[in-house]
Structure formats: structure tokens, C-alpha cells
Structure 1
């Protein structure tokens, strides 16, 4: 992806098959004008690549990492153990998954000292929003965009409520 500014968010996934889920995070970041990079990094099949990615991310300007993984889902936790950057884990319901519970628990049950923020199963959109909120703590412009997003959500619900109430 060609960008004018250096990436602030790294989106990584354990397999190319996770891209259909992880694209939601990329779409949110695009909506907020946040530069990102996206790649495949497998904790199990390419541990050296994972280690190198996690070690070098901050030096490239990455400020938040979103890591999606299915099955045993060790990628978010292993990356969090290597970097000081905040890591947001996206459990992905993969073809070899036990209804996604294996992924959820693998990411959620991190030991003390290695935190990973975990979103719901396949909820890469929320991961993108959380990354935007983290970055907004040091950007008034991004804070304004986030507030507008929340205001728009509120407006949609109010419109839905009025529509439902009008039919009753």
C-alpha cells in the first residue's frame, strides 16, 4: 500500500486466509486516515520473521500492533512478549478452529506481565477502532475524528429508535 506518511499501525496475521477478517481493521484505519502496514507473520511457521517484525516495529514508527490469529493463536502473545508496543489480538475462527474458542482463549489468557488487548472473535473492526483510540491519546485531530465517529453511531441508533417507535 502506497502511503504518504510512515505506518503507525502494524497489522499482522498468522496466515493469508485471515486477510478477509483482518481487512476490516485496515478499512477502519483508512477511514481515520491512519497509515498502516499489513503482512503475514506466523508464530509457528516463521518464528524468526515474527521475532524480527516485533523487534523492529517501533524503530519503523509503528505505535500499535494488531495481530490476528486462529487455532492455537500464539501470534499476538508472542509478539507482545517481544515488543513494548501495545498489541491488540484478534481471535480468528479458522478452518481448524474449535468454534473460535481455542483462538479466543489463546489470546485472552495471557500471563501477568504480557498484556494483550483482546477483541471479540473476528472483530478486526474493533481492533482498528481501538488502535485509533490509542493513537488519539496524543492527537487532537484524531480525537476529533473519533468523537465524530461516536456521534455518528449515536445518531444512527436514535434514527433507528425513532423508526421503530413510529411503527408501534
Structure 2
């Protein structure tokens, strides 16, 4: 995998525009790492065909890691994972009903064969860091960004 990322290598998808404020921390962190990304808003329940097409074509578009944010039933990450060979990181959104526990439990109970990684409720920043760590498995530049980031946290 080339480390010269001019086109998006991280795909961010969220179920609703209402998830955007919580996901700004993800985008900000990716910007700080200088990792290009694309953003899509599409619900697994209201726009399943659009989600299917976006997920299935992600690899062709150059995406290497997907971050999926959703609340309540929170099926978005699992649906995306069903249509792509790429790693999917899920971000459970805080909800008014159960504080996001509903989202979290939905995401961590994926069936065998369709795994997703899951960060904390509203853990958008950690999702971005994990995505860059994943990119770093095949890219020394991304790995160095994580090394530098962790060194700066220790100061």
C-alpha cells in the first residue's frame, strides 16, 4: 500500500446528520494526522441500497479503513462490514433512551464471520487513531504519525 495519500483512505459513514457533531472529533483527528477521508450520511434502515453500494465500492475508491457511527439499533457498521473486506471500526452514538448502551451492545454482538472493531460511546477520536494505526500496518508514514502522537501525549 502506498503511503502517499492524496485521495481518501478512510471512509466515515454515519446513520444520521445528528451524528455529525459527535463525529467532528474523528474528522479533526484525521486532519491533524493529515489522513484524507470521505464522509457519507446514510442510514442502514432508511437507505439500505445506498449503504450497500457505498460499502461495496469503498475498496475500489481507495478506502482502506471504514469508520461507521450509529445510534440505537446501530446496525450500520455491521451492514457495512457485510459488504466489504475492509476493516470496520464502529462508534456507538450516545442516545437519549439508554445513554448509548443500546448502540454499544448492538455493535459488539456481531455474528461470527462479520467482525467490527468497536470504540467507546461517542469515541470518535479513538476511532480515528485506531484507523491510522490500522493504516500503519502497511505504511511506515502512518505508523510514524502514531509514534509521534503517543510521544506527544507522554510529554
User: When the two structures are superposed, what TM-score results if normalisation uses the length of structure 1?
Assistant: 0.87
Higher fraction of helix:
1
Q: 1:161 matched to which residue of 2?
A: none
Give 3-state SS (helix, strand or coil) of 1:67's partner. strand
**Superposition RMSD in Å:** 1.1
2:104 aligned with 1:104, yes or no?
yes
Task: Give the Cα–Cα distance (whole angstroms) in 1 for the partners of residues 141 and 102 of structure 2.
Answer: 38
Q: Which runs of 5+ in 2 are unaligned?
A: none
Partners of 2:144 and 2:7 lie apart in 1 by: 21
Partner of 2:140: 140
Indicate the SS of the match to 1:90.
Answer: strand
CA-to-aligned-CA distance 1:51-86 (integer Å, 9 cap, x gap): 001111100000000000001000001110111000
Q: Give the distance between the partners of 1:11 and 1:113, measured in 2 at CA.
A: 22
Equivalent in the alignment of 1:154: 154
Rg comparison, structure with higher value: 1
4+ residue segments displaced more than 6 Å: none
Distance in 2 of aligned mates of 1:44 and 1:8: 25
Aligned counterpart, 1:124: 124
When normalised by structure 2's length, the TM-score is 0.94
